[in-house]
Structures are given as structure tokens and as C-alpha cells.
């Protein structure tokens, strides 16, 4: 009996909802939201959900604020958006001795070859060997496998581990700027806001190391035309790297710092 009750009541939900209502009251007074606007909102949100765009909308317009409220003053690499296109179960990427790790790709994968290097350490500067690194990004037509791309599932998605010095190097292609879908209720919202739909090119990267907080972040490239106006506001200065032109390929690198639990 007691167990059943404990299962249903969620103190945290109650606490957060009470706070939400408290702040919403003053927000509603300030916004002077009328009843018709409220019903328009409910109709739009219903369509958003029915089209399966709720995760997209939330990750584009809310997730950055969740992250900044909690983590912007914390030490270590700033997190950025997980986004709606992460899928669990990516393949393990292994390499032959002396060869780079290669993210799964089609034999004729279009795009510029990118060698991306990184180092993972803790906030005291100690390297974090054997850290689980998960990477995913879009292809040269700006599409993500398992979602809007015709590529096989898990194309340009994989995981691997840092070496004894906390280093890794992976071969993939350069991601390109991404337009979020504009043909549904999220696009309708963008029109109301007179806001473009672009995100700068980015690599998604997630680190898991024992005794450390999981770090979910993104890597952006200097000079990208969408950095300042990223529709999802995911860019942080420390997540920028330079794409170096090496003739037949590009190189980039960034170091990452994980916080202890």
C-alpha cells in the first residue's frame, strides 16, 4: 500500500509545477494573454504534438535555456543541445593500429573529409583515459541518418574511447549548416517570429567517464555564417574550432573538460 503511494506521488513534479504556476501568473499578467490567444496556442500545440514536432520545438526553443540556467557558471566545458536527432545504440568504431577511427559512412559518402581531434580531461587537468565518446552529425545534404536521410541507419554515428592520454582522433566528413523542418507547426512559429530556420554546422558529441557528469555538447566552426543567429541558440564561444584546410582534407580539434559528479 505504502509502496503504491510512493510510486504515484512525485515531490519534484509538485515542487516544479507549483513554481511554474507561480511564475506563469506574473508572466500572464505582463503578456495580457487573452482567451482567444490561449485557445489558438492550445490548437497550435495540439498540431505540434500530432505532427511529432514537440521534441524538435522544445530542443530548438527551450533546451538552451535549460542548459544556461543550470550550467553557464559551472567549470568544465559548457554543455550544448542534445537535440532531437540522437539515437542510442550507435556502432562501436575501432581502428587498426596506426589508423584513425572512421565514423560509419557510405563508400561514396559526399562531403569534405574531416579529421577531428580532441582531448578529454577533468577540471584539474588530468587526462581522462577510456572515456566513452559518442558522435553524430548530418551529411552533405544536411540530413541526419535514422531521420530524414536515405542513408543507412547509423550513418555518421558511432562511439569509441579515448586513449591513455585522453586523446582521440576520428575521420569523418565536415557537417554542413542545417535547416530545421519548416513545413509543420514549428515552421509556422518561425514565420510568426520572422526568424530563419538555420543552425550553423555542428558535430554532436557526448562524453561518459566514470565518476564524472555526462557531458553532452556540440562543436561549431569559426566563420560559419549562422553562428550569431543559430535558431536554437546552441553556440558557445568555447565550442568553436577552426577548420584547417590541408588540401585534400580539413582538420579541426577541440579539448573537453568534464566535471566530477
The residue ranges that bind ligand MBD (CB under 6 A) are 59-60, 81, 83-85, 178, 180, 199, 232, 234
172 near 137, Cβ under 8 Å? yes
Element containing residue 256 per DSSP (H, E) = strand 250-258
83 is an interface residue for Fe ion by CB under 5 A: yes
When CB distances are held under 5 to 8 angstroms depending on the partner's kind, the choice from Fe ion, ligand MBD, none that residue 232 binds is ligand MBD
Cβ closest to ligand MBD, residue 60 vs residue 254 = 60
Smallest gap from Cβ 207 to Fe ion, in A, equals 17
188 is written with which cell numbers? 509556422
| Angstrom distance (rounded) from CA 240 to CA 182 | 27
Cβ closest to Fe ion, residue 47 vs residue 65 = 65
79 is an interface residue for Fe ion by CB under 5 A: no
How do strand 167-173 and strand 101-102 relate by DSSP bridges? parallel
| Angstrom distance (rounded) from CA 199 to CA 85 | 14
When CB distances are held under 5 to 8 angstroms depending on the partner's kind, the choice from ligand MBD, Fe ion, none that residue 81 binds is ligand MBD
Taking CB atoms, the residue at the shortest distance from ligand MBD is 83
Cβ closest to Fe ion, residue 149 vs residue 167 = 149
| Angstrom distance (rounded) from CA 117 to CA 212 | 21
47 near 179, Cβ under 8 Å? no
76 is an interface residue for Fe ion by CB under 5 A: no
Q: What residue ranges bind Fe ion (CB under 5 A)?
A: 83
Amino acid at each position: 500500500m505504502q509502496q503504491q503511494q510512493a510510486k504515484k506521488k512525485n515531490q519534484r513534479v509538485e515542487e516544479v509545477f507549483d513554481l511554474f504556476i507561480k511564475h506563469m501568473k506574473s508572466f500572464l499578467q505582463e503578456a495580457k494573454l487573452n482567451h482567444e490567444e490561449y485557445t489558438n496556442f492550445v490548437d497550435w500545440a495540439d498540431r505540434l504534438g500530432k505532427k511529432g514536432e514537440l521534441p524538435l520545438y522544445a530542443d530548438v526553443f527551450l533546451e538552451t535555456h535549460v542548459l544556461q540556467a543550470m550550467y553557464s557558471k559551472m567549470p568544465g566545458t559548457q554543455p550544448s543541445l542534445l537535440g532531437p536527432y540522437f539515437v542510442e545504440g550507435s556502432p562501436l568504431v575501432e581502428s587498426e593500429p596506426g589508423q584513425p577511427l572512421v565514423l560509419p559512412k557510405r563508400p561514396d559518402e559526399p562531403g569534405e573529409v574531416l579529421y577531428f581531434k580532441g582531448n578529454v580531461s577533468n577540471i584539474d587537468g588530468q587526462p581522462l583515459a577510456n572515456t566513452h565518446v559518442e558522435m553524430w552529425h548530418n551529411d552533405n545534404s544536411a540530413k541526419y541518418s535514422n531521420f530524414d536521410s536515405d542513408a543507412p541507419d547509423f550513418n555518421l554515428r558511432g562511439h569509441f574511447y579515448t586513449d591513455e592520454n585522453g586523446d582521440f582522433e576520428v575521420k569523418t566528413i565536415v557537417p554542413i549548416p542545417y535547416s530545421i523542418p519548416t513545413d509543420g507547426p514549428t515552421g509556422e512559429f518561425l514565420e510568426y517570429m520572422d526568424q530563419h530556420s538555420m543552425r550553423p554546422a555542428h558535430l554532436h558529441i557526448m562524453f561518459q567517464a566514470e565518476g564524472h557528469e555526462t557531458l553532452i555538447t556540440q562543436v561549431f566552426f569559426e566563420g560559419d555564417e549562422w553562428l550569431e543567429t543559430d535558431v536554437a541558440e546552441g553556440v558557445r564561444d568555447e565550442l568553436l574550432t577552426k577548420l584547417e584546410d590541408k588540401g585534400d582534407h580539413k582538420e579541426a580539434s577541440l579539448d573537453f573538460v568534464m566535471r566530477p559528479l
